[in-house]
Structure 1
Amino acid sequence: MSVVRRIARPLLAAAVINEGVTALRSKEAAAELAEGFGARLARPLGIEETHTDVVVRANAGVQIAGGLLLATGRFPRLAAAALALSLAGTTIARDSFWAAQSQDVPAKQARFVADLGLLGGVLLAAVDTAGRPSVGWRARRAARKAADKASEIAPW
């Protein structure tokens, strides 16, 4: 693992872990934000009741666990992908500056842009192969080798 990855992953993970811990510490505030977003999301799906406290705890768990996995280099791409999904929902629910009152707009807009930067970081971590070939490349290579071997055995 390169030195940059060894430093960057824990730094990126620290911000996400902090988000998760903060959500657990202030469950009421997080649940209030999630309630509005959950209701808007559930209505078109025909869901009557949203259990926002469960959603908040699950999201915080994903952020903490995913952050720890990313920081330690265990399943970093999978962890980063889970964090990207978690952050996308959190960013929309918490930082919806377009629906805020006029005095809240600058703060929410600044937080939204910062969260977009964090989301960009975890998206980059999700596609980082650490210099190794991707799974898709390895699969195509294996298929090509198998096809070559098959044509040697049965040349039709």
Structure 2
Amino acid sequence: MALSRLIARPLLASYFLANGVQDLKEAPALAQQAAPVTEQVVPVVDGATPDSVNVPRDPVLWVRASGVIQVVAGFGLATGRLPHLSSAVLGATLVPSTAARHRFWEATDKDERREQLTHFLKNTALAGGLLIAALDTAGKPGLAWRTRHAGHDARREAALLGAKAKAKAHLH
């Protein structure tokens, strides 16, 4: 593994490990911030799941679930275990977390608005880092490249085999 990945992954994960622990410790207080977001998310999740699945409505539970997910996925990213999946999961938790905690558009005080905007943009930058980590192929061709080139490689190989067979038939 490249030294840059060895260092960058734990650095990127550190925010989510700390944030996840904070979510777990301060869930009731953070649930007040999360409530407007969970009120919008719950009906969407409820509509996307079978009727037999009971989607919780308690914002405290959603904050705790987010905390657990961030700690587990943060650990996965930091240690390089399933780093692509971990990065994608962390990115998915970042969207509702940012919408709940950093609602700069609602701030009326100029300093508070600037502070919330700074945190919002920091989370946007983290999302960019997670996107890079999720798609990182360590310099090897990714699945899309391999798929595009598989057909070309198969046709070239078939042509070579055909030419060899033709040459062999002419020798006999």
TM-score (norm 1): 0.84
Give me the whole-angstrom Cα distance separating, in 1, the residues matched to 2:149 and 2:15.
38
Larger radius of gyration: 2
* Among 42, 66, 72, the residue aligned to 1:65: 72
Q: Does 1:74 align with 2:81?
A: yes
Please give the root-mean-square deviation of Cα atoms over the aligned residues, in Å: 2.5
Q: Does 1:37 align with 2:44?
A: no
Give me the whole-angstrom Cα distance separating, in 1, the residues matched to 2:33 and 2:19.
14
SS in 2 for 1:129: coil
Ranges in structure 2 where 5+ consecutive residues have no aligned partner: 48-54, 163-172
Residue in 2 aligned with 1:19? 19
Residue in 2 aligned with 1:114? 122
Deviates more, 1:136-145 or 1:43-52: 43-52
Deviating runs (4+, > 2 A) in structure 1? Answer: 40-51, 139-153
Contact 1:35/1:50 (CA < 8 Å) preserved in 2? no
Q: Does 1:97 align with 2:104?
A: yes
Count of residues paired in the alignment: 153
Ranges in structure 1 where 5+ consecutive residues have no aligned partner: none
Contact 2:38/2:62 (CA < 8 Å) preserved in 1? no
TM-score (norm 2): 0.77
User: Structure 1 22/45 Cα, relative in aligned 2: closer, same or farther at 3 Å?
Assistant: closer
Give me the whole-angstrom Cα distance separating, in 1, the residues matched to 2:12 and 2:153.
39
Give me the whole-angstrom Cα distance separating, in 2, the residues matched to 1:37 and 1:3.
39
Q: Does 1:7 align with 2:7?
A: yes
Deviates more, 1:125-134 or 1:136-145: 136-145
Give me the whole-angstrom Cα distance separating, in 1, the residues matched to 2:137 and 2:124.
22
Give me the whole-angstrom Cα distance separating, in 1, the residues matched to 2:25 and 2:149.
49
Q: Does 1:124 align with 2:110?
A: no
Contact 1:76/1:125 (CA < 8 Å) preserved in 2? yes
